[in-house]
Amino acid sequence: MILLTGASGYIGSAIYASLKQQGIPVLTAGRRSCDRFLDLSECQCLSEVFSDISVVIHCAGIAHNKGDASAYQVVNVEACCALASAAIAAGVKQFIFLSTLNVVPASTLDPGVRATALPKPVSLYAASKWQAEIALANLIGTSQTELVILRPGLVYDRALTANLATLKRWQRLLPISLPTTGHRSLVARPDLVALIVSLLWRSGERREVIEQPLAVTDGQCYSAFRIGRAVANKTTVTLPAPLWRGLLMCLAILPFRQAQALASSLGGRYWCGETAQPFNSPVWSLERLLKSTAAESAH
């Protein structure tokens, strides 16, 4: 039996839907409308949560720009460790942890290198995932439980969320082309979900054990200009680069977390490789997925 945390979230909900569609037995764990109660701020009596569970997919946690240092530490690090310890004690065969590619500096050659070989990230969110990766490797590494750490790039789908949703609203109001600044990796939610399902431990099945974190991308590099053009899906006006730099600086100093996050995302340089890992041929790119959505809507 699979136990899924964060089943109401952007990634968790898609995993849950895919498992149910394929007839794979799954239970959800959380505070509301779940099969088993789990409060990540107070992890107690976890033995009952993991009863008869063979695989854990841990998606729950505080997302990027949604918490403070204390909250990230308690939920994303300490609760994750408590869950892993309880899973080991319960004899769980596999623990799949959703981390983030933001733990990997842009200059890193190998995005699958262990967290101990990477510097501590600056952002609180990425730092909490980095700490959790290290703690999980220490806890699970010597046990009989298989640890799978996934580092997805920015996740997109037909239904955009977070900064991508904000950007789409912005492009509707102001049809202005974004600058060719920044670069980052993305991954389609359907591709990420398909990968997770393919990695699930199954009784009696032999396969190679995954020993290092997996960077999950669609194998392409996206500038702010490319992302903006994809989400706008219409003709936009080009502004001079100096004017754009000024606008980004203004966004960065506004006393609004969402504006600061958007400025950082547009102008930031994140890890961006040209090969998809671990996909040989991912199904989607941002443009292709959004164009297919537009075509379906037209019919």
In order, the DSSP letters of 193-211 are HHHHHHH---TT---PPP-
Which among 44-53, 101-110, 206-215, 232-241 has the top mean pLDDT?
Answer: 101-110
Buried b (16+ CB within 10 A) or exposed e, 153-165: bbbbbeebebbbe
Specify the higher pLDDT residue, 266 or 70: 70
Residue 101 predicted with pLDDT over 90: yes
Cis previous bond, 278, omega within 30: yes
Note whether 25 and 78 are within 8 A (CB).
no
**Domain boundaries, given as residue ranges, for the chain:** 2-154+188-216, 162-183+220-274+284-292
- What confidence category does residue 197 fall into, taking pLDDT thresholds of 50, 70 and 90? very high
Q: What distance in Å separates the CA atoms of residue 182 and residue 263, rounded to the nearest whole number? A: 10
- CATH code of 2-154+188-216, in short, is 3.40.50.720
Residue 296 predicted with pLDDT over 60: no
Residue 45 predicted with pLDDT over 80: no
| Cβ partners under 8 Å of residue 210, min gap 6 | 146, 148, 199
Specify the higher pLDDT residue, 15 or 177: 15
Name the pTM for this structure. 0.89
Q: What distance in Å separates the CA atoms of residue 143 and residue 5, rounded to the nearest whole number? A: 21
Please state the rounded mean pLDDT for residues 166-172.
Answer: 77
- What confidence category does residue 224 fall into, taking pLDDT thresholds of 50, 70 and 90? confident
Residue 81 predicted with pLDDT over 60: yes
Residue 39 predicted with pLDDT over 90: no
**Cα distances (angstroms) measured from residue 118 to each of 100, 102, 109, 148, 257:** 13, 11, 11, 18, 27
Mean pLDDT of all residues in the chain? 85
Burial tier of 227 (Cβ tally within 10 Å: 0-12, 13-18, 19+)? buried
Q: Angle, nearest 10°, between helix axes 162-173 and 257-267? A: 90
Note whether 202 and 298 are within 8 A (CB).
no
| Dihedral pair phi/psi, residue 239, rounded to 5° | -105, 150
Q: Tokens 């990425």 label which residue?
A: 126
